[in-house]
Amino acid sequence: MTEEEKGAYSSTHYSQLTTDSKIYVAGHNGLVGSAIMRKLESEGFRNIVTRTFEELDLTNQKATREFFEKERPEYVFLAAAKVGGIQANSVYPADFIYINLMIECNVIKASHEFGVKKLLFLGSSCIYPKLAPQPIKEEYLLSGYLEETNEPYALAKISGMKMCQYFNKQYGTNFISVMPTNLYGPNDNFDLNTSHVLPALIRKFHEAKVNKAPYVEIWGTGTPRREFLFVDDLADACLFLMKNYSGNDFFNVGTGEDVTIRELAELIGEVVGCKGELKFDTSKPDGTPRKLLDVTRIHEAGWRHRIGLKKGLEKTYEWFSKTYL
């Protein structure tokens, strides 16, 4: 890390962030947004602005500008997005690129126009090339072809991150970005048609336990390796960077550890208490062979994850059991 980069962490420009600062959490009911809300509230922040989708459609530029003009938030966590797994991305590619681009364009532009002091944009590790060297460093961005199954979402997230950098360059804003690895936790999407692999497996194993099914069907071969971060750890990283970083870098946020899908399934079966056989449907796509983030940059900034995979799965299944059953 250069001296200039180190200086970004010691900037006092945003030391004015206090528990009274007016903060807008876009997407506060989602997986990431709700975790950010829990973190802010636990830290004593009490001037938080939120809107549901029914109250504010962020794909509507006029409505978004009117909201910013009226509320004048000082800080923005941009966690609103259309998200989903391989199947959802394959079925709704136009929706994934259009909705995410519109949200990013409208919120980032309005944040500049109405004087937001700092914005944090939530990206995704799917921005990186399908065959990027492992672990994936931030500088590997745009060095190769994207994974076809989530290309529309990835293109939108790349654009959002680049918008932040270009607004900083042209207008002197302080808009920063994080690229989290695969997330899970309370308020995740457990719909088998649109969810990511981990919550889908939790639901499949739970239903197999309840129905005393002899096996659990899993997409693909079980050999791809994935990294998983409990969403409350991500929220902790976001607040850490909002308080401590000012600059034009973006940050990978993850654990630096990965498991195979088979290993994940076995661990979920243990947590759920389901002893059914694993049956792999190899006619379904695996996606990227491996996706592990290099988290050196955020470690050097002073942040590390705290919640291990098994503990995170236990917390998530406890929430699922209380919410869905």
Q: What is the pLDDT of residues 195-250, one digit of tens each?
A: 789 999 999 999 999 999 999 999 999 999 999 999 999 999 999 999 999 999 99
Which residue has 């970083």 as its token pair? 245
Domain architecture of the chain: domains with CATH: 3-188+228-256+293-307 (3.40.50.720)
pLDDT band at 71 (very low <50, low <70, confident <90, very high): very high
Token representation of residue 55 = 């109250």
Respond yes or no: is residue 153 known to be catalytic: yes
Q: Is 197 annotated as a binding residue?
A: no
Distance of CA 84 to the CA centre of its chain: 11
User: Is 305 within any annotated ligand binding site?
Assistant: no
Of 153, 166, 171, 184, the active-site residue reads 153
Q: Is 186 annotated as a binding residue?
A: no
pLDDT tops 80 at residue 10: no
Query: How many angstroms separate the CA atoms of 124 and 122, rounded?
Result: 7
Q: Has 89 been labeled as part of a binding site? A: no
Distance of CA 278 to the CA centre of its chain: 28
Residue range 165-198, pLDDT digits in tens:
999 999 999 999 999 999 999 999 998 877 789 9
User: What is the Cα–Cα distance from 154 to 128, expressed in whole angstroms?
Assistant: 8
The answer on whether 216 is annotated among ligand-binding residues is no
> Pick from 146, 128, 271, 90: which is nearest to 198 by CA?
271
